[in-house]
Chains A and B, each alone.
Chain A
């Protein structure tokens, strides 16, 4: 065992007592759990299954480029409401024309970030939206399933873009396009946490 660790260049591990080793593993677990809870907490606040998305295509150039990070808000569903009149200021405004929404088309799991071009709503109908990429010539009718011409705000849209941070998400594009990078990064991170003794 010792010889193997030496060969791997991990002789440092030998000097760790079992108790210290366990504490480091616990520490690593804590970091992962914190990140997960922050993500889920943000999910609850924004009411979106995915409150932060990374731009994957160039259809909103030059505003959004590949790898940019977008923050979503999904409490603007504007559902039809049959109960008593809500107190003023207690409800969130609905999705408007000109807003940028992220949607998932049924059967495809790639989120699409495009701008709302048209909006049609009635007292008994869902909120219908038509979207288009700023950098595209045609609207998204072609991207929707066959014989569907509008998006349902509640069913298909996962949020409206409210915040923007450039480039930070490019790491995830690298990781998803080169699968080995993901395991390498996780391994290095785990080792660093375990080896750090301070």
Chain B
């Protein structure tokens, strides 16, 4: 059979096969590309303010306000299969509440600031005294002076293939756990302060 229909069908079939294999090879080969991102965070100012989420709301909420410095180099995350990198700063407070009223939520994490990095030219981040992008309130409405740490994370989104995530975090003393430029250590951990105008329930221990 040598009709034009069969030819069209064969051409289309060949086109899809080639596309599939090129896509599969692109997705697989990019996983072998080495990457060594670095990041350092320095917390400048942590405040808690009380407010209402909406003017009709009756229940006041505590909001966490943070200013921070960030130096990050995500250049090495960009290869032939990187469409964009979503970089974000999270705050974790898993510790039991310091105050007398324990929260039933013991694992908490929220994104305070994020950015989309579209290309390798903007992959170096240098922020000074940046204000957190999102007004963060706890699910119970109160932060209860818990100990918290910040974490810098990223999500690499491909042109085709698997998405992957990575993070750089520090331990309780502020020592960076993973890959970070030597000699520059910022403040990663803190105790969430009481809301403005309220007396602290516990004595501040962290320096």
B104 on interface, CB distance cutoff 8 Å: yes
A117 to B161, CA, bound (A): 23
User: Is A164's CB under 8 angstroms from B108's CB?
Assistant: no
Q: Which of A25-33, A47-55, A104-112, A120-128 contacts B (4 or more CB under 8 A)?
A: A120-128
Identify which of B84, B105, B109, B162 contacts A62 (C-beta below 8 A): B84
Chain A nearest CB, measured from B164 CB (Å): 9
Over the window 155-172 of chain B, the binary record of Cβ atoms lying under 8 Å from chain A Cβ atoms (1 yes, 0 no) is 101111111010000000
In the complex, 17 of the A-B residue pairs with CB atoms within 8 angstroms, ordered by the A residue number, are A62-B83, A62-B118, A97-B88, A97-B110, A98-B165, A118-B139, A119-B110, A120-B139, A125-B104, A128-B105, A149-B139, A164-B157, A164-B158, A164-B163, A165-B23, A166-B159, A198-B1
A161 to B158, CA, bound (A): 12
- Cβ–Cβ < 8 Å partners of B103 in chain A: 122
Over the window 70-102 of chain B, the binary record of Cβ atoms lying under 8 Å from chain A Cβ atoms (1 yes, 0 no) is 000000000000011010101000000000000
A122 to B102, CA, bound (A): 11
Known contacts A98-B90, A98-B153, A166-B160, A121 near B83 by CB under 8 Å: no
- Cβ–Cβ < 8 Å partners of A165 in chain B: 23, 160
A128 to B159, CA, bound (A): 30
B111 on interface, CB distance cutoff 8 Å: yes
- Cβ–Cβ < 8 Å partners of B134 in chain A: 117, 139
Over the window 84-102 of chain A, the binary record of Cβ atoms lying under 8 Å from chain B Cβ atoms (1 yes, 0 no) is 0000000000001111100
User: Is B111's CB under 8 angstroms from A122's CB?
Assistant: no
- Cβ–Cβ < 8 Å partners of A162 in chain B: 162-163
Known contacts A120-B139, A125-B104, A98 near B162 by CB under 8 Å: no
- Cβ–Cβ < 8 Å partners of B157 in chain A: 63, 164
Known contacts A62-B84, A63-B84, A122-B105, A100 near B111 by CB under 8 Å: no
Chain B nearest CB, measured from A119 CB (Å): 5
Which partner residue on chain B sits nearest A69 by CB separation?
B160
B107 on interface, CB distance cutoff 8 Å: yes
A150 on interface, CB distance cutoff 8 Å: yes
Interface pairs A-B: 3 shortest CB-CB: A118-B110, A120-B139, A121-B107
A130 to B138, CA, bound (A): 11
- Cβ–Cβ < 8 Å partners of A122 in chain B: 103-107
A98 to B103, CA, bound (A): 24
A18 on interface, CB distance cutoff 8 Å: no
A154 on interface, CB distance cutoff 8 Å: no
Known contacts A62-B84, A118-B110, A119-B110, A99 near B165 by CB under 8 Å: yes
B25 on interface, CB distance cutoff 8 Å: no
Chain A nearest CB, measured from B24 CB (Å): 10
User: Is A163's CB under 8 angstroms from B106's CB?
Assistant: no
Which partner residue on chain B sits nearest A70 by CB separation?
B163
Q: Which of A139-166 contact B (CB under 8 A)?
A: 139, 149-150, 161-166
Over the window 49-83 of chain A, the binary record of Cβ atoms lying under 8 Å from chain B Cβ atoms (1 yes, 0 no) is 00000000000001100000000000000000000
Which partner residue on chain A sits nearest B92 by CB separation?
A97
Q: Which of B9-63 contact A (CB under 8 A)?
A: 23
A115-B86, A120-B105 are known; give 10 further A-B pairs, CB within 8 A.
Answer: A97-B90, A98-B111, A99-B165, A100-B163, A122-B104, A125-B104, A163-B161, A164-B158, A164-B160, A165-B160
